[in-house]
Amino acid sequence: MPDAAIAPRSLPLTDLSEDERMFRDQVRQFAEDRIRPLVAKMDDEARIPRELIDACFELGIMGIEIPEEHGGAAATFFMAVLVVEELARVDASVAVLVDVQNTLVNNALLRWGTEPQRARYFPKLASSWVGAYALSEAGSGSDAFALACRALDRGDHYELNGRKLWITNAGEAELFIVLANVDPSKGYKGITAFLVERSFPGFAVGKKENKLGIRASSTCELILESCRVPKENVLGEVGKGYRIAIETLNEGRIGIGAQMVGVAQGSFEHGLRYAQERQQFGRPIAEFQAVQFLLAELATEIEASRLLTYNAARLRDVGSPFIKEAAIAKLFASRAAEHVTSKVVEIYGGYGFTREYPVEKYYRDQKVGQIYEGTSHMQLAVIAKQILGKRG
Ligand SMILES: Cc1cc2nc3c(=O)[nH]c(=O)nc-3n(C[C@H](O)[C@H](O)[C@H](O)COP(=O)(O)OP(=O)(O)OC[C@H]3O[C@@H](n4cnc5c(N)ncnc54)[C@H](O)[C@@H]3O)c2cc1C
């Protein structure tokens, strides 16, 4: 994978640098050659084959921002966004596996990891270990800081107890960033992030969810029963986990925006092709103005989603404020994906409603974009807080 060069600010948002274009094309080819043939089977079997995950590692897309000395590609966050979009154009499950790895797990380690933590985990995360990010619980979703998972200081280690729910990649992951509270009397200021290895005593992966969409992506419960975590595995400072949770999700939701752009784009390409092939009343349905205008509307929504998402990612890469832009991008792109994928099912008519054709899967896969990494209500709350200048 090439070195990244951040595109100069004067470039239009969708005008990619040479490195970005080459990388995007390489990932697009990979998605077509290696992922597309497996999409329906992965959805049916609700799993991503390990060989495909290994191929993602070989391509260098599991350690996009990881420094070269630790085996990564030392590229930009924007590159990660391009990768997630391209993968989601073909399969949203593979896209979210790669998204969580890069925008949440690697990102948090990059920002808050100590040098020994990076030296231990980055080479693994760049070459074979899948990562997961565990904040949500049965009783705390949108109200994430109400988490009940506890961490007790046992001198040389912490003991973690509790359960996590909805954890993406948990089926495959070797490393989990787990948020737990060291002192509930301090409220959210007791929340601390821990680097938990799958093999740590007292750690187990529980039930796997049977889902509407992104079925091949594993979403599981985590069970922590006197789970022993060495003190050196605290990520960032004790009591500062709430900042890690907020700040990684602020960035992570740009990745979900990209996933939704990719889902909408992939679905749209099917609709565009089908509209030109399907004949009714003696002509392709694309010759009816109603269908033409619908395609034009959908293309407009996708373009707007992409611009919002690319802008948020580029703002993040140059160190400018991006929180409002990231929330807007996710909110808008996930709504657009719902509309686009729904209308493409209609363009296919009755065929669109069957599992024989690929478009119903895009419709199912998009729905999660309005739920995870903050529901649409939570994105509106973030945007409102930003525009009203509220603190807290
Ligand atoms: C497939 C999948 C994968 C996931 N992966 C992960 C993961 O890897 N790691 C992780 O930590 N979590 C993960 N999650 C959890 C996800 O982030 C939560 O589901 C999400 O934050 C919503 O929480 P909840 O499900 O408890 O819904 P709730 O918070 O109970 O929300 C229910 C409804 O109430 C609304 N609501 C709640 N509070 C307010 C409010 N103050 N104002 C207005 N409306 C409100 C919500 O918007 C929503 O419509 C995943 C979820 C899914 C479905």
Q: Do 191 and 181 contact (CB within 8 A), yes or no? A: yes
Distance (Å) from CA 368 to ligand 1 centroid: 10
Question: What is the structure's pLDDT at 6?
Answer: 56
**C-alpha torsion sign, points 322, 86, 23, 63:** positive
Q: Is 32 a catalytic residue?
A: no
H or E, element range at 89: helix 77-90
Mutate to test the pocket of ligand 1, among 242, 364, 375 (most ligand atoms within 8 A of CB): 375
CB of 134 sitting under 6 A from ligand 1: yes
Question: What is the structure's pLDDT at 11?
Answer: 76
Kindly report the protein residue whose alpha carbon is nearest to atom 48 of ligand 1. Answer: 375
Q: Do 213 and 182 contact (CB within 8 A), yes or no? A: no
CB of 165 sitting under 6 A from ligand 1: no
Give the nearest ligand 1 atom to 100 CA: 8
State phi, psi for 158 to the nearest 5 degrees. -105, 150
In angstroms, the Cα distances linking 279 to 153, 183, 275 are 69, 66, 8
H or E, element range at 211: none
CB of 372 sitting under 6 A from ligand 1: yes
CB of 136 sitting under 6 A from ligand 1: yes
Mutate to test the pocket of ligand 1, among 135, 136, 224 (most ligand atoms within 8 A of CB): 136
Kindly report the protein residue whose alpha carbon is nearest to atom 45 of ligand 1. Answer: 377
Residue closest to 102 by CA, chosen among 61, 49, 158:
61
Distance (Å) from CA 166 to ligand 1 centroid: 9
DSSP state of 182: S
Residues lower than pLDDT 70 in the chain: 1-10, 390-392
Catalytic residue among 172, 221, 301, 373: 373
Mutate to test the pocket of ligand 1, among 43, 142, 219, 385 (most ligand atoms within 8 A of CB): 142
Distance (Å) from CA 371 to ligand 1 centroid: 6
Give the nearest ligand 1 atom to 164 CA: 11
H or E, element range at 180: strand 175-181
Distance (Å) from CA 93 to ligand 1 centroid: 18
Residue closest to 67 by CA, chosen among 117, 1, 124, 123:
123
Residue closest to 121 by CA, chosen among 200, 63, 164:
63
Distance (Å) from CA 35 to ligand 1 centroid: 29
CB of 369 sitting under 6 A from ligand 1: no
CB of 212 sitting under 6 A from ligand 1: no
H or E, element range at 24: helix 18-30
Give the nearest ligand 1 atom to 217 CA: 1
Kindly report the protein residue whose alpha carbon is nearest to atom 27 of ligand 1. Answer: 141
